[in-house]
Structure 1
Amino acid sequence: MKDINVYKLIAEKMSSMTKAQQKLGRYILQHPNQVTFLKVGELAEEVGVGDATVVRFAVQLGFSGYPALQERMQVSLQQQLSTAEKMYLSEEVYKDEAQGIQQIFHGEQANIQATMKQLDMNAFHQVVQDIVGAGRVYIIANRSAKALGIFMHYYLAMMIDKVEMIELIEEQADTLYGLNEKDLVIGISYARYTKRTTEVFSYAKDKGAKTAALTDNWASPLVPHADSVLTAESQMPALINSFVGPLSVINALLIYTGREKQSGFEKKLQDLEEVWDTFGVFE
């Protein structure tokens, strides 16, 4: 069982499990980042099952006990499932037509709770100060995380003068000319992590720029190159990632950045309102 991804194994074994074990399995699939470091009693309490159920669950999967399962979960957390494998997980977890939608919403609520619980407040305030004090701010985001980057760039551009969104480095490499210690580079990437985001983020660190990683866990490839790390729960057993937690962190960063920039920001907003009124931007 050395090379198997344990989350895929759980999905495959779900149909042969007891109801209590299925409940435990669904919880693990929906909250892989949270579960990985929980002890037997802590996991049992979170799910609402007995300690014995957790132990039997591990044995049912072919492990000698929960410690062996836990070790494998920690390894599997770093293995990125393919799109097809995530689709398979989705079919197993949400197979109950009547309960599936409810489970998705409950999963999103749990992601918000987990994000709030794990948020490093010192790192959060440091990133706000780094944004406010930066000569230039660069946002690096690709593929699905691009949506988060565009949202963040849109509002940051209202608050500060020099903000760049980097999507295609092949076409925007010149933008990074002169990158230095006065600049801040924000890397946004959640599993499956995009290679290009990590490469550009690493380059920024090598050039001496301050770096802030918005990612899902401390095993993320962005972390070794980050001065500040803000994690948010993004996992769900489905084709897509959950961006409820990450977007909440970005919302909080924008709100606190706006507070720090309030004096100059208010004047800029007034000027923008005049432009919007002139061209009838809003109804």
Structure 2
Amino acid sequence: MAQVYQKIAEKMSSMSKAQEKIAKYILSHPNTIPFLTVEKLANLSEVSIATVTRFVTFLGYKGYPDFLKETQETIKEQVESIERIRIRDELESDTNRKLYEVFEDDVNNIRYTMEELNIFELKKAVNFLVNAERIYIVARRSAASLAIFFKYYLELMFNNVILLENIEQIPKHINRDTGEDVIIGISFDRYSKSTVDIFTHLKNRGAKTIAITDNMLSPLVPYADITLKASAGISNSVFKGSFAGPLSLINAIIISIENEKKDCYENNVKILEEALSKFELVM
């Protein structure tokens, strides 16, 4: 409670009956008091003007104008406080809205990726991978996180998965016969030159090529035997990457391969679980 009203409440027990009438009216109408003349307050409290004057003196004020000034300061503080709360709520509401927009962008990216999915091309990619002698994955910068995820699950089904993290790794693979190899290139807008260079090099060496990218203008597309599109954009942000769509696409590929190599996958997972348990690597 504001100081002036707190003061009145604390002194209620030592007030006369007439003063109590004034006090009760003031405490019941705190937002109108700052706009009342002494005559009006006396009339509404059903006491004399002299009683109101003695009342404010009893509270410690020099006169009614001093009392009125403090009530006006109090309501000013209340209005400012309410305005601050309103502005804060608006800001928080705007922040919350933007947070929800991030989730909406992810949902839209997954939906767009699903709608644009060419099932025939996906099945063809799965066939390439199932029959590959070696599987190379190349991705740079933030897309490298997708490559690491992809490699982890492919290794549960294949023993020949190689993540090419930089172009310096190429020489040790250059003399190999790559005719039965597959390279997966992952890159999105602001495309990585090194990803394109490695992808192109292995294409020229005879490897089958799968591009996971965001549109047909991607520099990976001209060198891809199979192009799988995934939406990777996010609106209203300097941060432009959303990998919900590409990750869902990669999950779809993994599940499709798992269905093709179910026995092998289940056996490898069993071996992995036994190793994790033996060395207490999980809780």
Q: Which residue of 129, 132, 135 maps to 1:131?
A: 129
- Equivalent residue number for residue 276 of structure 2: 276
Q: For 1:208 and 1:172, how far apart are their aligned partners in 2? A: 14
- Equivalent residue number for residue 153 of structure 2: 155
- Equivalent residue number for residue 265 of structure 2: 265
Q: Look up the equivalent residue of 1:165 and give its one-letter code.
A: L
Deviation at 1:176, TM superposition (A): 4.3
Deviation by residue 1:78-116 (Cα, 9 ceiling, x = unmatched): xxxxxxxxxxxxxxxxx9434211222212111111111
- Equivalent residue number for residue 114 of structure 1: 112
Q: For 1:213 and 1:156, how far apart are their aligned partners in 2? A: 16
Q: How does 1:1-283 map to 2 (within 5 A)?
A: 96-237=94-235, 238=237, 239-283=239-283
Q: Look up the equivalent residue of 1:245 and give its one-letter code.
A: G
Q: Look up the equivalent residue of 1:243 and give its one-letter code.
A: F
Partner of 1:247: helix, strand, or coil?
Answer: helix
Deviation at 1:258, TM superposition (A): 1.1
Are the counterparts in 2 of residues 201 and 222 from structure 1 also a CA contact under 8 Å? yes
Partner of 1:187: helix, strand, or coil?
Answer: strand
Deviation at 1:175, TM superposition (A): 3.3
Q: For 2:118 and 2:275, how far apart are their aligned partners in 1? A: 39
- Equivalent residue number for residue 7 of structure 1: none
Q: For 1:270 and 1:99, how far apart are their aligned partners in 2? A: 44
Are the counterparts in 2 of residues 179 and 204 from structure 1 also a CA contact under 8 Å? no
Structure having the higher Rg:
2
Q: 1:186 to 1:110 in 2, by over 3 A?
A: same
Q: For 2:200 and 2:170, how far apart are their aligned partners in 1? A: 16
Deviation at 1:167, TM superposition (A): 0.8
Deviation at 1:278, TM superposition (A): 1.0
Q: Look up the equivalent residue of 1:235 and give its one-letter code.
A: G
Q: For 1:227 and 1:171, how far apart are their aligned partners in 2? A: 23
Deviation at 1:265, TM superposition (A): 2.1
Q: For 2:154 and 2:105, how far apart are their aligned partners in 1? A: 29
Are the counterparts in 2 of residues 139 and 185 from structure 1 also a CA contact under 8 Å? yes
Q: For 2:184 and 2:136, how far apart are their aligned partners in 1? A: 6
Identity value in percent: 39
Q: For 2:196 and 2:113, how far apart are their aligned partners in 1? A: 22
Deviation at 1:211, TM superposition (A): 0.2
Q: Look up the equivalent residue of 1:232 and give its one-letter code.
A: A
Structure 2: give runs of 5+ residues left out of the alignment: 1-92
- Equivalent residue number for residue 9 of structure 1: none
Are the counterparts in 2 of residues 215 and 232 from structure 1 also a CA contact under 8 Å? yes
Q: Look up the equivalent residue of 1:266 and give its one-letter code.
A: E
Partner of 1:271: helix, strand, or coil?
Answer: helix
Q: Look up the equivalent residue of 1:116 and give its one-letter code.
A: M
Q: 1:126 to 1:170 in 2, by over 3 A?
A: same
Are the counterparts in 2 of residues 149 and 165 from structure 1 also a CA contact under 8 Å? yes
Deviation by residue 1:172-231 (Cα, 9 ceiling, x = unmatched): 531343142200000000111000000111111111110000000000000000000000
Q: For 2:210 and 2:109, how far apart are their aligned partners in 1? A: 21
Deviation by residue 1:124-150 (Cα, 9 ceiling, x = unmatched): 001111110000000001110000000
Structure 1: give runs of 5+ residues left out of the alignment: 1-94
Q: For 2:133 and 2:264, how far apart are their aligned partners in 1? A: 16
Q: For 2:135 and 2:114, how far apart are their aligned partners in 1? A: 25
Q: For 2:115 and 2:190, how far apart are their aligned partners in 1? A: 23
Q: Look up the equivalent residue of 2:234 and give its one-letter code.
A: M
TM-score by length of 2: 0.64
Q: Look up the equivalent residue of 2:256 and give its one-letter code.
A: Y
Q: Look up the equivalent residue of 2:207 and give its one-letter code.
A: A
Q: 1:188 to 1:176 in 2, by over 3 A?
A: farther
RMSD value, Cα: 1.6
